[in-house]
Amino acid sequence: MNPKLFWLLTAILLALTHRAEAQQPKKAPRIGFLALASRSSISPRVEAFQQGLRELGYVEGKSIVIDYRFADENRNRLPELASELVRLKVDIILSAGDIVTRIVKEVTSTIPIVMGYDNDPVGNGSVASLAHPGGNITGLSTLSAELSGKRLELLKEIVPKLNRVAIFGTSTAPVSARALKETELAAGLGVQLQYFDVPGPKDVEIALQARVRPDLTQL
């Protein structure tokens, strides 16, 4: 089993166990699964999640119930979908992404929330710290901001003569500012950075055209 999936399932099962101890009579645990994406776009992840549960002895529809909600890339639908899961009285909510986690946090402070992944849960305000998240949220962090400087260091080792690097980021995402700061600290290696803001999908092509220069390497 994938290590990340293992720890995600562990967090879910621990949350379910805690909830089950306070509930009588016993019933099949109920998970709310909320994602911004469409189901088809993340079907491999959903299937891996289901397979992981089966490997741990949980059979969907028998020993466990999962209520899926997908916003189909429409952020405006997330608050209502999250509220719907709360009304269904699910035992825990699995949030697929940092945006989803913040929305779910706004609609419940009692139902355990398990982050499927989050670039920067501390910077986003979802948890107090990675060691002691507090509140009703736990789960996984990709630590993308903390790893940004290390990526530049590795790139410099691979390309010793590297002196200029183009960085793509999204100014509206809190994690981008932290990632840029970590990269700038690593740039003391003698690398000049050039930042390109990519607010949305339509801006990717513009940024690519702007950075197509022989003396720039994309990070």
pLDDT in tens, 132-156: 888 999 988 877 777 788 888 888 8
pLDDT digits (tens, 9 = 90+) for 85-128: 999 999 999 999 889 999 999 999 999 999 988 878 887 788 88
Torsion, CA 22, CA 97, CA 139, CA 64, rounded to 10: 40
Q: Give me the pLDDT at residue 6, please.
A: 53
pTM of the prediction?
0.67
| DSSP bridge pairs for 192 | 164
User: What domains can you pick out in the chain, each with its CATH number?
Assistant: 3-139 (3.40.50.2300), 144-218 (3.40.50.2300)
**DSSP string of 2-24?**
-HHHHHHHHHHHHHHHHHHHT-S
Question: Where is pLDDT greater, at 84 or 188?
Answer: 84
CB 100 within 8 A of CB 36: yes
pLDDT at 19: 55
H or E element at residue 167? strand 164-169
